[in-house]
Structure formats: structure tokens, C-alpha cells
Amino acid sequence: MEVRGGNMSPKIVRVSVRDVRFPTSLEQHGSDAMHTDPDYSAAYVVLETDGGLKGFGLTFTLGKGTEIVGPGERSDPPGDGCSPKCCVGSVGESGGQGALMAFFYLAEDEMLREGYPAYTTSCAWLGYSDQQLQQLCTDALKSGWTKFKVKVGADLDDDVRRCRLIREMIGPENTLMIDANQRWDVSEAVGWVSELAEVKPLWIEEPTSPDDILGHAAISKALAPLGIGVASGEQCHNRVMFKQFLQAGALQFVQIDSCRLGSVNENLAVLLMAHKFQVPVCPHAGGVGLCELVQHLILFDYICVSASLSNRYVQTISDASLSYKIPGYSCEMLESSVQKHQYPDGEVWKVLPKK
């Protein structure tokens, strides 16, 4: 990013917040047991300075949520408004930095050669027909995908049928995950997932209310004999909740969300805690901008914190493995796309009914 004007202490002179919505509900993209017709959207923030430097940020929503998030988006000058819940101090300073840097370069080289393991949800949204599901699985397998996530939770018989179909499509050697999007209570989650154990899912994601830490712990304990882990965290809003989830043994997979937590600092704190408890981090993504943001967090986790790829996967919609070298947080959206999908006056929404 270029800084024009030679201003070494730029001041923010303009903040814009735009409501960008994509009509994903038209074809059931993003549909799950809790959100049957979502329009994947974002509150898109651009900060402009007197020196020409621009900063970009976004928060993923499902449409209506942008009307709540958008008006609250703002920027405080550095050092202001920084509470203990959303900022962390210096971490990781100790001796042996030479050895750490040597590993850093080796790990970076490995990522550039081999990429980071990734999975896809794009094949199995809940609203897809069997024919569409089969075609998308076939295409994904041809493209090299080996890890697939399926939305479940609306109807048990339908879930059993769909999961059997997908397992048959991808074969026994590939990885399957299931995601209920908070649909069940604790006992219902245990019974429902037990019925799906035959397809050997690696994890059940968000089996119950995201605030029920002890409920997640009970589900984890009940499903452990079946070899099924619990993944959650996309609704956790600070590191304190993650601390309690980890202390309770409630998660076997930590799912940080780049927009739900207080940006980079809070996410790094959770990465460190997950490493302390030896629980792998598999970030939540898939929404507007999330896949672009979390790629940086998981590479930091591997190179600087965990040094492990065991049971670690990132959700993406592009490649079956990821590696990036260009600096930045990947928040800038294409201006042409923003203008086209801006709600309610963009080109797309002028011809679609308002929600």
C-alpha cells in the first residue's frame, strides 16, 4: 500500500461504512439449519488519511445484521478506547530468538511448498438438492479436495440420508465434518450425532447454544467414545469465553472467527491459549471476507505458535491447500463489486425485493 504526500504521522480524515449484500439466498448458498435463506453480507469500512493511506476492514453478517453492525463501526486513534477485553500486550519475548527465527524460515518454506490443509463447505449447504450435492462433490474431488463439511440439524432422517450419500461420494479415506449451527439442546445433540456416527465425522460443529460451555463439555464427553470431536467458537466474542471452553475440556477443535473477536490481538491470545491446552485451531470462515482474513491467522499459528498441522484445517472456497506471501490482512474489496452489491441502491438490489 502506497503512502502519498510524505506524511509520517497521518491523520484519519474520513470514515465510510457501506452495507454490502450478496443475494446468496436465491440459490440457497449458505443455507443451514438455523439460517434457511441468508444473504451473505458485510459492513465494509474504509479509513482515509490526509497522507493518502487507506485502511480497509469488514464484518461478516447475514444481511439484516449489517443494519446493526454498520452504525457502530468506528475507529479510535491508537491508544484510545483499548480495554482489557480487546487488547493484549507483548507476547513471546524470551531467549532463544535465533533458534525461533531459524524455525520460522523453515516453516515458511514448507508452507510455500505444500500449502495449509483446507476443507470446503460449498458442496453441502442444507438447501441443496441431492443432484446438486452430487455434482458439486464430484467437481470438488476432481479439483483435489479431500475434506468436506456438511450442514445438518433440520431433519434427522434427511441428515442420515445426505451424510451417507456424501460419504459414499467422497469415499472412506477422505475427511467428513458436520455442522448443526447451534440447532440442538445437549441431549438432542448427543442422540442426533450418535445416529450419524456411522459416516465417521471428524467433528460436530456448534452442536448447541454457543454460550453453553458446560453443555459443550457434556457433549464432548458423550461423543468421545465414538471418536467424534466438538468444534465451536465462531460465536465467542472474547478470549475469556475461549479460556473457559478450554479449561472445561469442551472443545476438541477451536474455531476462532476473524470478525467476531477483537481483530488480530484477541485472536492471537486465543491461539496461544489453544497451544497451551494442545487443542488444534481450525478457524471459522466461509462468509464474506472471512476466508481471506483467517489465512493469515492460521499461518501465524503454524509458523509462530503451534508448529503443527495435525488435525488443523482452514475453511476456504478457492484451493484445497493455501499458502500466501503477500503482506496485509486481505480486507480490501473490489470497488466494482461493492458498488454493484451495495444495499439498497446497488445495481443488484434495484431489481430484487428488499428484505
Catalytic residues: 151, 284
User: What burial class does residue 79 get, using C-beta atoms within 10 Å of its C-beta: 0-12 exposed, 13-18 middle, 19+ buried?
Assistant: exposed
Place of cell 523453515: 106
DSSP 332: P
Rounded to an integer, what distance in angstroms lies between the CA atom of residue 234 and that of residue 203? 15
First vs last C-alpha separation in the chain: 37
Rounded to an integer, what distance in angstroms lies between the CA atom of residue 143 and that of residue 224? 33
DSSP 302: I
What are the φ/ψ torsions at residue 318 (nearest 5 degrees)?
-115, -65
Q: Beta-carbon neighbour count of residue 86 at 10 Å?
A: 15
30 touches 307 (CB < 8 A): no
263 dihedral zone (left: phi>0; alpha: psi -120 to 50; beta) = left
Q: Beta-carbon neighbour count of residue 185 at 10 Å?
A: 12
User: Which of 119, 23, 115 lies closest to 62, judged by CA?
Assistant: 23
